């Protein structure tokens, strides 16, 4: 019998916190929610609750949730934004080579 093992597609999920968060993502999420709760408590005790300040108070949690929201083919939106920034800031020449396993570069 062959000693070959199939690796399940979701093996990376087991190394994540709650199957969703990396430690950095959890820190971002909890910090955003904590700042929002603190801001809303401060605003409610000082009687400054109008529409604009309420939106400003909720904004840190909204940004944190947006950054850690799952995104297809990437871990989350934060990872996707990082990949886009890396792609556009690298000074490399991207050449489509097809599906070749070896390639000889000839600069013309």
pLDDT tens-digit map of 16-56: 777 777 889 899 999 999 999 999 998 888 877 788 888 89
Q: Which residues pair with 17 in a beta bridge?
A: 21
Q: What are the E-state strand segments in the chain?
A: none
Residue closest to 64 by CA, chosen among 38, 28, 16: 28
Task: Report the predicted TM-score, pTM, of the whole model to 2 decimal places.
Answer: 0.66
Q: CA angle, 73 as apex, 71 and 74 as ends, to 5°? A: 60
CA 96 to chain centre: 27
């Amino acid at each position: 019998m062959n000693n070959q093992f199939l690796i399940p597609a979701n093996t990376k999920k087991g190394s994540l916190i709650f199957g969703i968060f990396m430690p950095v993502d959890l820190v971002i999420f909890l910090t955003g929610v904590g700042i929002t709760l603190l801001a809303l408590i401060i605003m409610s005790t000082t009687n400054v609750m109008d529409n604009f300040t309420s939106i400003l108070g909720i904004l840190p949690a909204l940004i944190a949730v947006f950054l850690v929201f799952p995104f297809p083919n990437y871990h989350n939106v934060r990872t996707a934004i990082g990949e886009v920034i890396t792609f556009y800031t690298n000074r490399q020449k991207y050449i489509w080579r097809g599906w070749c396993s070896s390639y000889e570069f000839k600069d013309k």
